[in-house]
Amino acid sequence: MDIERSARQVRENGYTVVPDFLGEERLEALRRGLAPVFEEIGSRMTDDYGQQTIHTHNLLAKTRAVDELLMDDDLLGLVEAVLGPDYQVSGVAAMRPGPGDRRQRMHQDDGHYPLARPHFPLIANTLIALDPFTAENGATEIVPGSHRSADPVDPDVPTLTVEMPAGALFLWDGAVWHRGGGNSTDSGYRRSINFNFNLAWLKQRENQYVGVPWDVVVEMPEKLQELIGYRLTNKGLGTVDYRNPLETVKRRLAEAHSS
């Protein structure tokens, strides 16, 4: 992956697509590993938007199928090039718009943080395609360059549909206006993995400390423990007894194995 080129595209346009990110073998392994998760996914009705895609959130509590991918050096290199070294996992989900699902409302992922716009990137959000993304099956629709806007989101501006092959990585600045597209097919699903990263001194979208059970956390590789928040950040945020929280994780692992 040409990390510098992709990071430049994110700075300039608000997003990048890396078409050949996964490769055939990893793509197949992820499809197999996530099959039980996708079987659980349905659709939901809302008064405002009709039938919409439903996501499986808190994925690290439900499967080990995405652990390796989440620690991928190229992926994290690109995230670091966008956010700098102090980033963390903010949420992990499986997303699959299905036949009849309507498009989402236009939104910005960083709307949780009440800062004046435009601002530096707070979030690097990603979708990794397990099926081709097409205009028909719900490919994401974005407004290139909107991460630089100070205006409120306008749902009526022209969008670009992010069509990409299975195995592609789509990464965008959380300030970009976007929405999941509608799925007008009879039977085509648009399976994808969503890794959402944010600056490590912000609150995570999904509470990883509560969401991922402790017995799962202690068995994770240290790199993953750190990614989901068990680390010191920004000159010492996140201590336990004024020490690195990883020390507590390791102590509990030793206790679990000795009992």
Ligand X SMILES: O=C(O)CCC(=O)C(=O)O
By the criterion CB under 6 A, which residues form the site for ligand X? 95, 104, 127, 140, 178, 180
Say if CB 231 and CB 117 are below 8 A apart.
Answer: no
Q: Give pairs for 150-153: CB < 8 Å, separation 24+.
A: 150/116, 150/117, 150/118, 153/106, 153/107, 153/108, 153/177
Taking the complex as a whole, how short is the minimal distance between the CB of residue 175 and ligand X, in angstroms?
A: 13
3-state secondary structure of 88: strand
- E strands present in the chain: 15-18, 43-46, 50-53, 55-56, 87-95, 123-129, 141-142, 160-161, 169-173, 178-179, 192-199
3-state secondary structure of 107: strand
Taking the complex as a whole, how short is the minimal distance between the CB of residue 114 and ligand X, in angstroms?
A: 18
Output 6 or 125, the one with its CB closest to ligand X: 125
- CA gap 88, 86 in Å, rounded: 7
Taking the complex as a whole, how short is the minimal distance between the CB of residue 180 and ligand X, in angstroms?
A: 3
Output 55 or 231, the one with its CB closest to ligand X: 55
Amino acid at 154: D
- CA gap 53, 44 in Å, rounded: 7
Output 180 or 245, the one with its CB closest to ligand X: 180
Taking the complex as a whole, how short is the minimal distance between the CB of residue 186 and ligand X, in angstroms?
A: 20
Output 16 or 104, the one with its CB closest to ligand X: 104
Output 14 or 180, the one with its CB closest to ligand X: 180
Taking the complex as a whole, how short is the minimal distance between the CB of residue 141 and ligand X, in angstroms?
A: 8
Residue with the CB atom nearest ligand X in the bound state: 180
Output 127 or 130, the one with its CB closest to ligand X: 127
Taking the complex as a whole, how short is the minimal distance between the CB of residue 115 and ligand X, in angstroms?
A: 19
CA 29 to chain centre: 19
